[in-house]
Amino acid sequence: MSSSMEPIELIAGLGNPGEKYAKTRHNAGFWFLDRIAAQNGATFRPVSRLLGEACDAMVAGRRVRLLKPATFMNRSGQSIAATLSYFKIPAERLLVVHDEIDLPSGTIRLKHAGGHGGHNGVRDIIAHLGAQAFARLRIGVGHPGQREEVIGHVLHRAGNAEQVEVDAAIELGLRELPGIVRGDLRAAMNVLNQRKRASQETPSDSGGQSL
């Protein structure tokens, strides 16, 4: 694995549009982008040509575009492909943030390239881009235990204790985001991929890092 990758120009969070889904586990990618926007004082607005809601933010001194597809999870690739094409951004400068049932709540992992791992949103992105060479930030939401329960699990809200863990993982990811945006993959992986849970934080880790 290379120690660096291309700097990030587009961060796309995956989820489903509308109030019905806003607080469900499948929208963890949207939650992450909402936190970036809030820290920048930015507001998402519908952009029809991008098939989603978008805004700009400053991260690590760089302007990045934030995108929340409005095409529903299983068609995320339509919006992301349209956005990359419109702004002439190569797939290598894309970061996709999404929920991950194969990780326990409270964990967050960074991955560069590879397959879709069974995630339908990522599957559609790969299909539309014809490429796998983009970064993914995977937010653990836990597995319900049975395959037939997965859809119900991701389309329902987390319990209070679980939500606290997911929120802590998101905050940890946000602190490493400047490095990711700069393209320093290894340093971010060393932090995110070594922890079993965000609750492993020590007091010295808790100082916030500006986006």
The answer to whether residue 205 is domain-embedded is no
Task: Name the pTM for this structure.
Answer: 0.91
The answer to whether residue 2 is domain-embedded is no
- Which conformational region is residue 27 in: left (phi greater than 0), alpha (psi within -120 to 50 degrees), or beta? alpha
Confidence bin at 56 (pLDDT 50/70/90): very high
Could you tell me the residue range of the domain that residue 56 belongs to? Answer: 10-200
Confidence bin at 2 (pLDDT 50/70/90): very low
Beta strands, E only, 134-193 = 135-140
Choosing from 26, 98, 112, 119, the catalytic residue is 26
How many independent structural domains does the chain possess? 1
Distance CA 141, CA 25 (A): 6
Q: Write down the pLDDT at residue 181.
A: 97
Q: Element (H or E) spanning 11, and its range?
A: strand 10-13
Sign for the pseudo-dihedral over CA of 95, 108, 171, 73: positive
Q: Write down the pLDDT at residue 4.
A: 57
The answer to whether residue 29 is domain-embedded is yes
Q: At what angle do helices 28-40 and 160-182 cross, to 10 degrees?
A: 60
The answer to whether residue 206 is domain-embedded is no
Distance CA 187, CA 190 (A): 5
Averaged pLDDT of the chain: 91
Distance CA 116, CA 196 (A): 22
The answer to whether residue 92 is domain-embedded is yes
Q: What is the CATH number of the domain that holds 195?
A: 3.40.50.1470
* Model pLDDT for residues 152-183, shown as the tens digit of each residue: 999 999 999 999 999 999 999 999 999 999 99
Confidence bin at 117 (pLDDT 50/70/90): confident
What are the tokens at 6? 């291309």
Verify whether residue 26 is a known catalytic residue. yes
Cβ atoms of residues 119 and 98 within 8 Å: yes
Q: Following CA atoms 66, 69, 70, 74 in sequence, which dihedral angle do they give, to the nearest 10 degrees? A: -160
Q: Write down the pLDDT at residue 201.
A: 52
* Model pLDDT for residues 10-37, shown as the tens digit of each residue: 999 999 999 999 999 999 999 999 999 9
* Model pLDDT for residues 64-85, shown as the tens digit of each residue: 999 999 999 999 999 999 999 9
What are the tokens at 112? 């560069």
Residue 54, judged by CB atoms within 10 A of its CB (0-12, 13-18, 19+), counts as buried
The answer to whether residue 5 is domain-embedded is no
Confidence bin at 7 (pLDDT 50/70/90): very high
The answer to whether residue 24 is domain-embedded is yes
The answer to whether residue 135 is domain-embedded is yes
